[in-house]
Amino acid sequence: MYNDNPTLKGISKEIDEKKQGEVFFQGTDAKTGKHFYIESYGCQMNFSDSEIVASILAGEGYSPTRNMEESDLILINTCSIREKAEDTVRKRLRIFDKVKSNRPGTIVGVLGCMAERLKQKFLEEEKLVDLVVGPDAYRDLPKLIGTAEEGDKGINVFLSREETYADISPLRLGTNGVSAFISIMRGCDNMCSFCVVPFTRGRERSRNAFSIVAEATDLYEKGYREVTLLGQNVDSYKWENPESKNVVNFAHLLERVAKIHPDLRIRFSTSHPKDITDEVLHTMAAYENICKYIHLPVQSGNSRVLKLMNRTYDREWYKERVESIYRIMPDCAISSDIIAGFCTETEEEHQDSLSMVEWANYSMSYMFFYSERPGTLAHRKYEDDIPLAIKKRRLQEIIRLQNQVSFRHNQADIGKTFKVLIEGDSKKSDQEFKGRNSQNKMIVFPKKEGLKAGDYVQVKVHEATSATLKGELVG
């Protein structure tokens, strides 16, 4: 899942740098006097997992801190999607090691996908960490911390076929109090040839639908007004009620969450072109509070390359899905992921990716050049034969075109009025609010007395760049 927080317009990112290294923090009452510090990298699922970890640690009496120098436990939740993400983590670990040398007894742990993939390397070669914990082993953290405190290495990277953490209430950290993530499923069965996720997060399993609705309801009652349902492939969500034997698919789940309250917005990520159904699209169209935005990664616009990627759809299938989205929801925005320079990609096939950007009219994209990941099908079967200079040139061409398409997409919104959920102050001025419309576009507008984060307002757009809309309150 390459999708992080889809707000960056026309920029290539190995990980979402708005979130990169963000420290989750929320004050809690200390029970043991011990503190933990956590950084998270990569996809939204990692940030959601960090909230689960924080909840488990809080149950053991740990309090979060923003200051790693005063922490007894330093954790980094990692991503293996791109080599650059792994390099960033290694740099951070060397910094943590210096903190540890100045504060004897501090425990350093690696969590998540990179922990699973490089478990032995971390423990034997790097010698920078005391804990290595995979994404399905967070319940084991208290025992592993105890092992590390006794001087041994704590490791558990077992991949489960059942674990969904459905019974754990995440500790909402670093939040604006308006938007929150809800994990609805874990793992992936798709086996795209370029992707490490099935190896680092295991097989696909869906969470109890009742627990998802209960979590969303609790968030609404606590003042949150937007939830994002997360999964590597949300469209394949499928849960069977063990008592009634009724099966809940993703369209059913969307409807159940939408019915909690009209003022609770629902987003989701990520969709797979082979699985997104018209039933899902009609459900989105039927409920105003299900946001009209779909992240639909194409990866390549060429059918031969898509077959090498094992994406299980071709160019025409993808185009049919895009056409269906615009037919059922004309006001829907679509974003994408695109990989430049996959194995054996020709210049003509690269042009197919460019033409897809233009044709699909993406509001934005996450764009990357191909980064070979050890252990994947592509690593085992195909030669990474496109020179780096060509990969980078093709990537820049995609970025340049996406910037142009994003600019036109946003220019078309000038003069329109949107319902916007206020998220807080804009980055550039405390005299302005920022918030998103249903299409996931960030809109900045002057403040008005009496309004606050979590309020819905009507904003008329009068200016647009490729990344942001600017407007004025109306009504």
- Those residues whose C-beta lies under 8 Å from the C-beta of residue 273, and which sit 6 or more positions away, are 296, 297, 298, 311, 313, 317, 318, 321
Average pLDDT (1-13) is: 30
Q: Which two tokens stand for residue 165?
A: 């953490």
Please report the domains of the chain, with CATH numbers, ordered by start residue. Answer: 11-156 (3.40.50.12160), 179-405 (3.80.30.20), 417-474 (2.40.50.140)
3-state secondary structure of 72: coil
* Rounded Cα gap, residues 126 and 128, in angstroms: 5
Q: What is the pLDDT of residue 109?
A: 93
**Structure-token pair, residue 292:** 């009209």
Which of 18-27, 172-181, 268-277 ranks highest by mean pLDDT? 268-277
What are 144-190's pLDDT values in tens digits? Answer: 999 999 988 889 988 899 999 999 999 987 778 999 999 999 999 99
In this structure, what token pair is assigned to residue 399? 């970025």
* pLDDT reported for residue 32: 59
At 126 the pLDDT is 58
Paired tokens of 434: 């920022």
pLDDT of 31 reads 53
Query: In this model, does residue 473 exceed pLDDT 80?
Result: yes
pLDDT above 90 for 308? yes
Structure-token pair, residue 286: 């039927």
Structure tokens that stand for 159 in this block: 């991949």
pLDDT for the residue numbered 12:
31
Q: How far is CA 251 from CA 71, 94, 261, 264, 277, in A?
A: 43, 45, 17, 17, 8
Reference 228, options 19, 450, 470; nearest CA is 19
469-474 and 456-464: which strand pairing? Answer: antiparallel
Q: And the tokens for 406? A: 């994003």
Quick check: 293 and 267 in contact, CB under 8 A?
A: yes
160-168: Cβ within 8 A, 24+ apart: 160/136, 160/202, 161/202, 161/203, 161/205, 162/205, 163/136, 163/139, 163/205, 164/205, 164/206, 164/207, 164/208, 165/52, 165/138, 165/139, 166/207, 166/208, 166/211, 166/212, 167/211, 168/52, 168/55, 168/56
pLDDT top residue among 42 and 323:
323
Q: Which range is least confidently modeled, 45-54, 76-85, 281-290, 425-434?
A: 76-85
pLDDT for res 173: 79
**What is the percent of the chain with per-residue pLDDT over 90, rounded to a whole number?**
76
